[in-house]
């Protein structure tokens, strides 16, 4: 099995997001960048597939220079090599999806894995768009995967609201990973050392010949509305509970 | 010129999720022309009544084979073929697991821009719509415009009110085009979670427990409170990771993002990743024995106290209140 894993680098989830004064982005100074948490499940799943079935894992990422760090971590987890699409400009979702699809096409593959969404823009579009672009079937929000190599088919369980469903499909295909699919491993020291020698191929976004125009325009970013001053009750439990229920009933009128 | 709004959603045995009514209301309120709906599967046409109640002008039902079983590629191809016939200015999907799976695929097939999980829509000029959507799980809001002729949006549940506006919709007989090589990925089985469990993203009241609950068996205290309130139960991440509650309870930046009217955070410290998932709540009520816990900074109401004392009292007090009303 040759598995491609599409990885995005995002601000650590502990980041306190601050908006630039022009409203066109966030202040990046001091941000710690990490692999998108859902992409880690995708990497881990690829590793488990290789352990079981053999083959190769290629990590694909897109972004500015700092993305190298995410790539190194994915390689340290155990991926074999990487392709980085270099772009210092902010690209539109469709441009990103089409660039990643082009790289995938050039590489060849049995399976493409990525996270169910990136925790920065929360768009949850790249997986299905790459699948559409490559005319491949997809399953998103996957929490369990079985592979039938003989018939080249997949059986995936995906999470819905209050239910799960089983999806059956042939591969090549695109899957997006949800928490619960597996428990991602930590890189070991020997693997971190090995990762330094692994191949990282660099291609420029321009060289891929993507002529897709931006489809979404950011007008501005704003902070969420401030929460009102809290009413904090500290007396004995019987009193505080009575007061709380009164406030919820009479002031907030929610119970 | 393209005009009107095309609302695409799923249904189950003639029943639709509440978010569909919210989306229909938004579609009408855009005032961009007629509202056309499309839904799929067995008994799809039974939704006609509720579609009329919420102001759909036209309805398309694909209840025949192969639309009885969801297929992301099959449905997306057929939708891409029908869009030029409906010729809408705007396409809306619910931002449910179903809508988020299908809408990006449709968007790419028709070359349209899509904004995910929108909180509100506003018409600017000439049938152009701008949307506000949360990013970084709500730590910031992005106002965006779609630059393509057809503008697509998926709408977050539980934000917009559903308001009826009865009409008698016309059923459109637009037969689907099914290409032979689509319907590759097909749903073969659906497993419902335990019955009676409310979906967190659609719940009006949520009671949520954290590590302060100390042990899985103590969640029965939360279940009791939830029962008197008619609330759904959620949790912080560590508690779900420990297996005290199912993964589906996990709320936060890497779990579910919720927007109830009231969110009870019980024994939850209020880590930034948790707060990101609950910032859309109208009221936050915190119960914690540490007066310095960050959860109190975002709470509307808070009790500083031992949850093992507070919870049973609270359940009783609310039960008494409900009995008297
Ligand atoms: C990449 C990443 C992603 C994450 N994503 C999420 C996420 O999506 N959601 C999430 O929730 N977390 C997430 N976390 C974890 C997060 O950082 C916190 O560790 C977690 O939210 C803490 O959970 P908690 O509040 O239940 O536990 P704690 O922080 O341990 O808080 C327990 C609270 O209970 C109180 N308490 C204890 N005993 C009592 C008592 N008897 N009565 C009343 N109060 C009591 C304590 O004062 C304390 O405030 C993430 C972390 C990382 C690194």
For ligand 1, atom 29, name the residue with the nearest CA: B269
Chain centroid to Cα B50, Å, comes to 18
Is residue B26 in some structural domain? yes
Asked if residues B132 and B140 have their Cβ atoms less than 8 Å apart, the reply is no
Are the beta carbons of A201 and A81 closer than 8 angstroms? yes
pLDDT computed for residue B195 by the predictor: 62
Nearest CA to ligand 1 atom 36: B212
What's the confidence (pLDDT) of residue B192? 86
Which residues of chain A make contact with B276, given a CB cutoff of 8 A?
A: 13
Q: Are B201 and B158 in contact (CB under 8 A)?
A: yes
Task: Give a yes or no: residue B117 inside a domain.
Answer: yes
If contacts are CB pairs under 8 Å, which of residues 245-274 in chain B contact chain A? 247-248, 250, 253-255, 261-262, 271-273
Which residues in chain A are contacts of B94 at CB distance < 8 A? none
Q: Could you tell me if B221 and B175 lie in one domain?
A: no
The answer to the question of residue B69 being in a domain is yes
The answer for B 72-101 residues in CB contact with A (under 8 A) is 72-73, 76, 96-98, 100-101
Do the interacting molecules here have an ipTM over 0.90?
yes
Do B172 and B209 fall into the same domain? no
Domain count, chain B: 2
**Domain-embedded: residue B55:** yes
Q: Out of B274, B275, B296, give the residue to mutate to test ligand 1, the one with the largest number of ligand atoms within 8 Å of its CB.
A: B274
Q: Which DSSP category does A118 fall into?
A: -
Q: According to the model, what pLDDT value does residue A153 have?
A: 98
B30 touches chain A (CB under 8 A): no
Return the HEC string of chain B.
CCCCEEEECCCECCECCHHHHHHHHHHHHCCCCCEEEEEECCCHHHHHHHHHHCCCCEEEEECCCCCCCCCHHHHHHHHHHHHHHHCCCEEEEECCHHHHHHHHHHHHHHCCEEEEEECEEEECCCCCEEEEEEEHHHCEEEEEEECCCCEEEEECCCCCCCCCCCCCCEECCCCCCCCCCCCCCEEEEEEECCCCCCCHHHCCEEEEECHHHCCHHHHHHHHHHHHHHCCEEEECHHHHHCCCCCHHHEECCCCECCCCCEEEEECCCCCHHHHHHHCCCCEEEEEECCCCCCHHHHCCEEEECCHHHHHHHHHHHHHHHHHHC
Contact B284, B298 (CB under 8 A): yes
Measured between alpha carbons, how far is B10 from B47 in angstroms, rounded to an integer?
10
On whether the CB atoms of residues B37 and B51 are closer than 8 A, the answer is yes
Distance between A50 CA and the closest CA of chain B, angstroms: 23
For residues B15 and B133, membership in a common domain is answered with yes
Contacts of A126 in chain B (CB under 8 A): 104
Residue B186 CB partners (closer than 8 Å, separation 6+) = A167, A168, A169, B66, B69, B70, B71, B74
Is residue B193 assigned to a domain? no
Q: Could you name the CATH architecture of A2-208?
A: 3-Layer(aba) Sandwich (3.40)
User: What is the Å distance from ligand 1's center to B228 Cα?
Assistant: 25
- Supply the pLDDT for residue A98: 98
pLDDT tens digits, one per residue of B215-259: 999 999 999 999 999 999 999 999 999 999 999 999 999 999 999
Residue B166 in tokens: 């009865």
DSSP assignment, residue A2? E
Q: Enter the tokens of residue A227.
A: 């929460």
- Please check whether residues B36 and B158 belong to one and the same domain: yes
Q: Are residues B247 and B133 in the same domain?
A: no
Of A17, A131, A217, the CB nearest to B139: A17
Low pLDDT (below 70) residues in chain A? none
Residues with CB under 6 A from ligand 1: A 13, 37; B 210-212, 236-239, 252-255, 267-269, 271, 273-274, 277, 288-290, 293, 306-308
Query: Quick check: helix, strand or coil at residue A39?
Result: helix
d(CA B163, CA B26): 9
* CA A9 – ligand 1 centroid, Å: 25
**Final residue in a domain of this structure, among B124, B150, B182:** B182
Query: Are B65 and B150 in a shared domain?
Result: yes
**Residue B208 and residue B160 in one domain:** no
Q: Which of A19, A112, A118, A123 to mutate to test the interface with B (most CBs of B within 10 A)?
A: A123
The verdict on residue B210 lying in a domain is yes
- Supply the CATH number for residue B176's domain: 3.40.50.620
Shortest distance, CA B128 to any CA of chain A (angstroms): 12
Q: Find tokens 């279940």 and name the residue.
A: B223
The CA distance from B172 to the nearest CA of chain A, in Å, is 27
In terms of CA atoms, which chain A residue is nearest residue B241?
Answer: A180
Same domain, residue pair B141 and B220: no
Whether B28 is in a domain gets the answer yes
Inspect the interface and report whether the beta carbons of A255 and B262 lie closer than 8 Å.
Answer: yes
Whole-number Å distance, alpha carbon A36 to ligand 1 midpoint, is 20
- Quick one: pLDDT at residue B179? 87
CA B298 to chain centre: 23
Task: Give residue limits of the domains in chain A.
Answer: 2-208, 225-255
* Chain A residue numbers touching B114 (CB-CB < 8 A): 93, 125, 215-216
Asked whether residue B90 is domain-assigned, the answer is yes
CB–CB of B145 and A216 under 8 A?
yes
How many residue pairs bridge chain A and chain B with CB atoms within 8 Å of each other? 272
Contacts of B251 (CB under 8 A, 6+ apart): B200, B206, B208, B234, B235, B236, B237, B257, B258, B274, B277, B278
What CATH number has the domain bearing residue B299?
3.40.50.1220
Domain that holds residue B19: 5-182
CB B277 within 8 A of CB A119: no
- The per-residue pLDDT string of chain B (325 residues; one tens digit each, 9 = 90 and over) reads 678 999 999 999 999 999 999 999 999 999 999 999 999 999 999 999 999 999 999 999 999 999 999 999 999 999 999 999 999 999 999 999 999 999 999 999 999 999 999 999 999 988 899 999 999 999 999 999 999 999 999 999 999 999 999 999 999 999 999 988 999 999 999 998 766 678 899 999 999 999 999 999 999 999 999 999 999 999 999 999 999 999 999 999 999 999 999 999 999 999 999 999 999 999 999 999 999 999 999 999 999 999 999 999 999 999 999 998 7
Nearest to A13 among B134, B189, B273 (CB): B273
Separation in Å, CA of B283 to nearest CA in chain A: 8
Pairwise CA distance, residues B265 & B242, whole Å: 18
Strands B151-155 and B113-118: parallel
B211 C-alpha to ligand 1 centroid (Å)? 6
Residue A121 to residue A125: CA distance in whole angstroms: 10
Measured between CB atoms, which of A16, A138, A160 is closest to B97? A160
């Amino acid at each position: 099995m040759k598995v491609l894993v599409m990885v995005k680098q995002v601000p650590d989830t502990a980041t306190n997001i601050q908006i630039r004064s022009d409203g066109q982005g966030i202040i990046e100074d001091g941000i710690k960048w990490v692999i998108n948490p859902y992409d880690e499940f995708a990497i881990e799943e690829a590793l488990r597939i290789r352990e079981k079935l053999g083959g190769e894992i290629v990590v694909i990422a897109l972004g500015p220079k700092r993305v190298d760090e995410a790539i190194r971590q994915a390689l340290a987890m155990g991926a074999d090599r990487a392709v980085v699409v270099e772009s210092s400009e902010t690209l539109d979702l469709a441009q990103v999806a089409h660039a990643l699809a082009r790289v995938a096409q050039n590489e060849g593959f049995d399976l493409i894995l990525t996270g169910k969404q990136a925790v920065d823009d929360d768009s949850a579009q790249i997986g299905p768009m790459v699948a559409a672009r490559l005319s491949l079937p997809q399953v998103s929000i996957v929490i369990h995967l079985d592979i039938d190599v003989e018939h080249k088919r997949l059986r995936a369980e995906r999470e819905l609201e209050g239910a799960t469903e089983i999806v059956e499909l042939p591969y090549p295909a695109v899957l997006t990973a949800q928490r619960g699919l597996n428990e991602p491993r930590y890189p070991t020291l020997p693997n971190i050392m090995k990762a330094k020698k692994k191949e990282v191929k660099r291609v420029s976004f321009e060289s891929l010949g993507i002529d897709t125009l931006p489809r979404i325009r950011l007008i501005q970013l704003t902070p969420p509305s401030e929460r009102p001053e809290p009413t904090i009750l500290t007396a004995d439990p019987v009193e505080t509970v009575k007061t709380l229920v009164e406030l919820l009933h009479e002031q907030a009128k929610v119970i | 010129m393209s005009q009107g709004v095309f609302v695409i959603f799923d249904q189950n045995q003639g029943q639709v999720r509440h978010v569909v009514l919210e989306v229909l209301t938004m579609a009408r309120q855009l005032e961009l022309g007629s509202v056309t709906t499309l839904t799929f599967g067995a008994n799809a046409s039974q939704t006609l009544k509720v579609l009329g109640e919420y102001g759909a002008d036209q309805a398309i039902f694909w209840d025949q084979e192969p639309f009885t079983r969801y297929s992301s590629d099959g449905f997306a191809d057929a939708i891409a073929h029908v869009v030029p016939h409906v010729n809408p200015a705007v396409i809306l999907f619910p931002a449910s697991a179903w809508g988020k799976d299908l809408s990006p695929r449709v968007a790419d097939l028709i070359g349209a821009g899509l904004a995910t999980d929108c909180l509100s829509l506003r018409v600017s000029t000439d049938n152009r719509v701008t949307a506000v959507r949360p990013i970084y799980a709500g730590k910031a809001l992005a106002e965006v415009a779609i630059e393509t002729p057809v503008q697509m949006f998926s709408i977050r549940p539980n934000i917009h009110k559903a308001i009826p506006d009865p009409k008698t919709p016309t059923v459109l007989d637009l037969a689907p085009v099914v290409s032979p090589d689509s319907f590759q990925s097909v749903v073969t089985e659906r497993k419902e979670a335990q019955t009676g469990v409310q979906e967190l993203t659609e719940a009006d009241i949520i009671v949520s427990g954290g590590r302060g609950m100390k042990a899985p068996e103590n969640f029965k205290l939360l279940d009791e409170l939830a029962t008197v309130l008619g609330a759904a139960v959620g949790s912080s991440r560590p508690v779900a990771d420990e297996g005290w509650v199912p993964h589906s309870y996990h709320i936060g930046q890497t779990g579910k993002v919720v927007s109830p009217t009231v969110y009870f955070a019980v024994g939850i410290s209020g880590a930034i990743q948790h707060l990101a998932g609950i910032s859309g709540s109208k009221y936050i009520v915190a119960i914690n024995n540490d007066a310095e816990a960050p959860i109190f900074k975002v709470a509307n109401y808070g009790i500083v106290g031992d949850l093992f004392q507070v919870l049973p009292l609270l359940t009783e007090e609310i039960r008494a209140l409900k009995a008297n009303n």
